[in-house]
Amino acid sequence: MNLKFRRALALTLTVIVLLGAWTTSFEVPARDSLQAGMKRALVAFAAARTLGAVISVAQGTQIDIKPGGVGVGTTPGQVLQPLNQLVDHFATAMLAASVAFGVQLVLLDFGGSQAVALLLSIAVVGWLALTFLQQGRYARWLQPVLVVLLLARFAVPLTAVANEALYERYMKGKHDQALTLVERTPQEVASATPAVPSRETMRERFERWWNGLPDLKAGYQLLLDSASGWADKIVDLMVVFLVQTLIVPVGMLWLTWRAARLATASPWRGERAAA
């Protein structure tokens, strides 16, 4: 890489970074993307809490038979415990996803502040000056600071825009289908849960205990069998938000870090020989 090309490259990168440091054009779509992601996570969290409440009611249904003062009780809804635990984990994951989007919004505000823009401008202009003076040793000292400032300014907006693009292209259909089913499930759970009469004579209670308890347990088992469909959708939703709040942000952060290091380090290799 000859000296003229390195200087032209450094000048081009400096202009791009200066324009990006002070412009807010890409912050608007980034903020909209993060707010949309947070809203989706909160809606899923609300659906999870509603479903969990319905399952908890069905799970806690207890039958008490007390003929002659002798108490006998059972809680057949305990077979729903695995589903209740799955929904609890789902709600926790959706709350964590909401927090993750909120943290990214805070980082977006920090990276878009005038203080970061000013520090980045000073750092990149100093890097350009060292490029023209061919002071590679001093530039290597400046490189970590410049990389950190580049990440602070550009990593979150780029991640948010890329995240939303990937969601719209590959995950929106799965998310909408899964969320629709999860939101509809509480009514299905309530209708599928066997009803226990609140007022019965002692004879009716004994007959139901003697003849109807197997049917009651069978009703809960039917609910468990039908739950496999919406349980799969819950897992699908958890995967979608895991990709959006962990895999894509970490991947984009790594790519941005690598690009920043290469852009700020490559001009200094072998400059003494070229000079």
Q: Which two tokens mark 60?
A: 């806690």
The pLDDT value given to residue 13:
86
Q: What angle do CA 72, 77, 82 make, to 5 degrees?
A: 135
Average pLDDT of span 135-154: 84
The pLDDT value given to residue 273:
40
Q: Are 44 and 101 in contact (CB under 8 A)?
A: no
Secondary structure element (H or E) that encloses residue 65, with its range: strand 63-65
Q: Are 223 and 189 in contact (CB under 8 A)?
A: yes
Model confidence at 188, pLDDT cuts 50, 70, 90, reads low
The pLDDT value given to residue 64:
46
CA distance 116 to 22: 10
Secondary structure element (H or E) that encloses residue 4, with its range: helix 3-22
Model confidence at 37, pLDDT cuts 50, 70, 90, reads very high
Q: Note the pTM of the prediction, 2 decimals.
A: 0.77
Model confidence at 185, pLDDT cuts 50, 70, 90, reads confident
The pLDDT value given to residue 193:
57
Which range has the worst mean pLDDT, 9-23, 156-170, 218-232, 252-266?
218-232
Model confidence at 221, pLDDT cuts 50, 70, 90, reads low
The mean predicted confidence, pLDDT, of the chain is 79
Task: Please write the tens of the pLDDT for every residue from 16-25.
Answer: 999 988 987 8
The pLDDT value given to residue 83:
81
Q: Enumerate the domain spans of the chain.
A: 3-274
The pLDDT value given to residue 210:
46
The pLDDT value given to residue 249:
93
